[in-house]
C-alpha cells in the first residue's frame, strides 16, 4: 500500500541518499536497551509524582532517576497515539485517525478505504531498530489492526510480527478482561488454562521479564527494544480486593475535593506553574455535594478500585524495572487523558452501554466491583479529577484529552534525576528521539520504496540540557471533527457540532504561556491571533491530514451525546 505523499519523496530521493549519509547519527559504543511502557486512559494527575494520592512508588522512583515532562501531548485516543508513537508520523498520515473499532460499526463511506491500515511505506520504530541490530518484542496491547484481520485465519499484514517485531504476546484489540483475557501469541489467538489467581498485568510483566532473561542468556551483547502496553487503567476496572481496600475512605470526600487536593500537590511538586488556575468543573459533571448518600458510597468505591488497579500495575512495573541496567532508556506515558465514556452514572455490569442498575442494586453488589463478576468503569467526574488541572478528558481536544504524564529515565545519560522539563513534546517525537539515542534514524527509502516523511523530531537534547530549545513549537489536532492547534504560546480549540458545517464551529483561544490550564478564552480579545491560528491549522491539515474533513458518523454523534450528557 503506497501513500499518496510519496511523490515528493521520490523526486528528492537522489539527493536524500547523500544527505542521509552525511547526517547519520553516531552509533554509541554500546547501544542502550529501550523499554516503552504505555498506560491506558491514565490522566495527567493519576501518578504520585504527578500529584495523585494513588500510591505509585515504582513509577515515582523512575521519575526520581529521570525526567518528567509537563507539556507532553498525545492524540486523545489510544490507536492514534500508538500509531504516532511507533511511526513518528501523525495518525492521519498513517491512516489511523481514530480507533479501528469505530470502523467496525460505522456506515459505508464514513472513512476512507485505506483507514486503519498503516501504510507499508511508513517504517516504524521496531523496523528501524531491527535494521540497527536490535531484538524487538511487544507485550500487551497493540490495537492497530483493521477489522478484517481480527478473525481466526484472516490476513495478518498489520499484526506486530509483520511490522518489525520478533515476538508478540498480549491482546489485539482496545481492551480485554483482566481475569479472562483474549490472549494472542505472535500471529494467533491462544487459550491457555489460567491459574485461579491470574491477572493480566502480572502475566504481561512475567512475560517481559522472561524475554529479557532469555535474551541475556542467548545474546547478551545484542540490544533489545521491549514495548509493554498495559491494559491499565482502561476499563474494566479489575484488581484483587486487597489493593482496592487499601483506599477505603480516601475517596469519601468526592471528586471535587480530590481535584483540589491534586491541584495543590501539582504546584508543590513543581509540575505545574505556581500561578496555574484551576478551571471550574466541566459543564454537566455533577457536584459531589448533590449526590445521594448511596451514590456517594458507590461512586467512592469505583475510585477505590481504580486506585487499586493503578497500584497493582505499579507493583508489576517495579518488578520489570528491577531487571534493567543503567544503560536502558525507559519511556513511560499514557495514551490519552482519563476516560469519560461511562457518563455520570458509571458502568457496573458491562462497558459502553448505559448503566441501568439502580443505586440500591449496585450497593447490594458493591463487593463485586473489581472482581471477575463485573466489568466496570468509573463515573465521568472522576476523569475530571484525573486530568487535573485541565478541562475535559479522553477524546476531547482540550488538554484534558491530549496532555498526559511522560517520564523518561536513562541513568547512564540523564544526571539531574527528578527534574521537570517544560519543553513542548508531541507523541510523534518519541520514536525519532529513541532512534537517535540508538545511533540510527528512520530510513527515507526501504527496499527501493520511498517512505512517508517523518513529522516527529528528536528532543534528546533535553535529556542533558534543561534549557535546550523545544524540538517543535507547532502541532495540529483533529479527532471526530473536533480540532486544535498549538503554536508556541498559543493554542486554539474548536468543538464541532454534529450536522453543522465545519466553518460554523466556534473556536476558543488560549495563551498557554501564562494560562497553563486553558482557563481563559481570549478569542474575543485577540481575533487577529485566532485568525492566524485557524489559517495555521488549515496549513497543517493540508500537510498532514487525510483529505477533506469528514462529518462524524451518526453513530459517533449519538455515542458522544449518550456518554457526554
Identify whether the C-beta of residue 123 lies closer than 8 Å to the C-beta of residue 104.
no
Number of DSSP helices (H) and strands (E) in the chain, helices first: 16, 18
- 508 SS3 class: strand
Query: How far is the C-alpha of 267 from the C-alpha of 516, rounded, in Å?
Result: 12
Q: Which residue has the cell 513511560?
A: 332
At 1, the pLDDT band (50, 70, 90 cuts) reads very low
Residues 476-480: what's their mean pLDDT?
96
pLDDT in tens, 395-450: 999 999 999 999 999 999 999 999 999 999 999 999 999 999 999 999 999 999 99
List the chain domain ranges.
33-563
pLDDT at 22: 38
Confidence of residue 263 (pLDDT cuts 50, 70, 90): very high
Percent of the chain with pLDDT over 70: 94
Q: Using pLDDT thresholds of 50, 70 and 90, give the confidence band for residue 112.
A: confident
Tens of pLDDT along 39-98? 999 999 999 999 999 999 999 999 999 999 999 999 999 999 999 999 999 999 999 999
Q: Which residue has the higher pLDDT, 263 or 1?
A: 263
Q: How confident is the model at residue 562 (pLDDT cuts 50, 70, 90)?
A: low
Over the stretch 215-250, which tens digit does the pLDDT of each residue have?
999 999 999 999 999 999 999 999 999 999 999 999
Model pLDDT, residue 563: 55
**With helix as H, strand as E and coil as C, how does 420-461 read?**
EECCCEEHHHHHHHHHHHCCCCCCCEECCEECCCCCCCCCHH
Residue 549: per-residue pLDDT: 85
| Cell numbers for 453 | 516523511
Average pLDDT in the chain: 93
Look at domain 33-563 and name its CATH class: alpha beta
Residue pair 123/442 in contact (Cβ under 8 Å)? The answer is: yes
SS3 letters across 280-324: CCCCCCCCHHHCCHHHHHHHHHHHHHHHHHHHHHHHHHHHHHCCC
What pTM did the predictor assign?
A: 0.94
Amino acid at each position: 500500500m503506497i501513500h499518496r505523499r510519496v511523490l515528493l519523496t521520490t523526486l528528492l530521493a537522489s539527493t536524500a541518499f547523500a544527505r542521509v549519509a552525511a547526517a547519520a547519527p553516531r552509533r554509541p559504543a554500546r547501544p542502550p536497551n529501550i523499554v516503552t511502557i504505555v498506560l491506558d486512559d491514565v490522566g495527567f494527575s493519576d501518578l504520585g509524582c504527578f500529584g495523585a494520592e494513588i500510591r505509585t512508588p515504582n513509577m515515582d522512583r523512575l521519575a526520581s532517576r529521570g525526567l518528567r515532562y509537563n507539556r507532553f501531548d498525545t492524540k486523545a485516543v489510544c490507536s492514534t497515539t500508538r500509531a504516532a508513537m511507533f511511526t513518528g508520523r501523525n495518525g492521519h498520515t498513517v491512516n489511523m485517525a481514530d480507533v479501528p473499532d469505530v470502523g467496525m460499526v460505522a456506515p459505508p463511506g464514513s472513512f476512507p478505504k485505506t483507514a486503519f491500515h498503516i501504510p507499508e511505506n511508513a517504517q516504524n520504530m521496531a523496523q528501524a531498530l531491527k535494521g540497527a541490530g536490535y531484538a524487538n518484542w511487544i507485550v500487551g496491547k497493540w490495537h492497530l489492526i483493521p477489522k478484517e484481520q481480527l478473525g481466526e485465519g484472516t490476513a495478518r499484514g498489520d499484526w506486530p510480527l509483520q511490522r518489525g517485531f520478533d515476538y508478540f504476546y498480549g491482546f489485539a484489540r482496545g481492551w480485554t478482561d483482566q481475569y479472562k483475557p483474549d490472549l494472542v501469541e505472535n500471529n494467533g489467538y491462544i487459550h491457555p488454562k489460567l491459574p485461579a489467581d491470574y491477572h493480566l498485568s502480572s502475566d504481561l510483566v512475567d512475560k517481559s521479564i522472561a524475554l529479557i532473561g532469555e535474551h541475556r542468556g542467548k545474546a547478551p551483547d545484542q540490544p533489545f527494544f521491549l514495548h509493554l502496553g498495559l491494559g491499565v487503567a482502561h476499563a474494566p476496572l479489575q484488581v484483587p480486593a486487597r489493593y482496592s481496600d487499601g483506599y477505603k475512605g480516601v475517596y469519601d470526600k468526592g471528586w471535587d475535593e480530590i481535584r483540589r487536593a491534586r491541584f495543590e500537590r501539582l504546584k508543590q511538586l513543581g509540575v505545574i506553574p505556581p500561578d496555574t488556575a484551576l478551571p471550574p468543573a466541566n459543564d454537566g459533571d455533577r457536584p459531589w455535594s448533590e449526590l445521594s448518600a448511596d451514590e456517594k458510597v458507590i461512586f467512592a468505591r469505583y475510585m477505590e478500585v481504580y486506585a487499586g488497579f493503578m497500584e497493582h500495575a505499579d507493583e508489576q512495573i517495579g518488578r520489570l524495572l528491577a531487571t534493567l541496567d543503567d544503560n536502558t532508556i525507559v519511556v513511560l506515558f499514557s495514551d490519552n487523558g482519563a476516560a469519560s465514556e461511562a457518563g455520570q452514572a458509571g458502568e457496573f455490569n458491562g462497558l459502553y452501554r448505559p448503566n441501568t442498575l439502580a443505586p440500591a442494586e449496585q450497593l447490594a453488589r458493591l463487593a463485586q466491583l473489581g472482581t471477575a463478576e463485573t466489568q466496570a468503569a468509573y463515573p465521568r467526574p472522576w476523569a475530571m479529577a484525573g486530568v487535573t488541572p485541565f478541562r475535559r478528558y479522553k477524546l476531547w481536544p482540550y488538554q484534558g484529552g491530549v496532555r498526559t504524564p511522560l517520564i523518561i529515565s536513562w541513568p547512564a545519560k540523564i544526571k539531574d534525576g527528578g527534574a521537570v522539563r517544560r519543553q513542548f513534546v508531541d507523541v510523534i517525537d518519541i520514536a525519532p528521539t529513541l532512534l537517535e539515542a540508538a545511533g540510527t534514524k528512520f530510513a527515507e527509502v526501504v527496499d527501493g520504496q520511498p517512505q512517508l516523511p517523518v513529522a516527529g523530531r528528536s528532543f534528546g537534547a533535553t535529556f542533558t540540557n534543561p534549557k535546550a530549545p523545544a524540538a517543535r513549537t507547532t502541532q495540529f489536532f483533529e479527532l471526530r471533527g473536533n480540532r486544535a492547534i498549538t503554536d508556541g504560546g498559543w493554542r486554539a480549540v474548536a468543538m464541532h457540532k454534529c450536522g453543522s458545517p465545519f466553518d460554523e464551529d466556534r473556536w476558543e483561544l488560549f495563551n498557554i504561556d501564562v494560562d497553563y490550564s486553558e482557563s481563559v478564552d481570549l478569542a474575543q480579545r485577540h481575533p487577529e491571533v485566532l485568525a492566524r491560528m485557524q489559517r495555521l491549522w488549515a496549513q497543517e491539515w493540508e500537510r498532514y491530514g487525510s483529505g477533506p474533513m469528514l462529518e462524524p458518523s451518526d453513530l459517533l454523534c449519538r455515542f458522544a451525546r449518550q456518554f457526554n450528557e
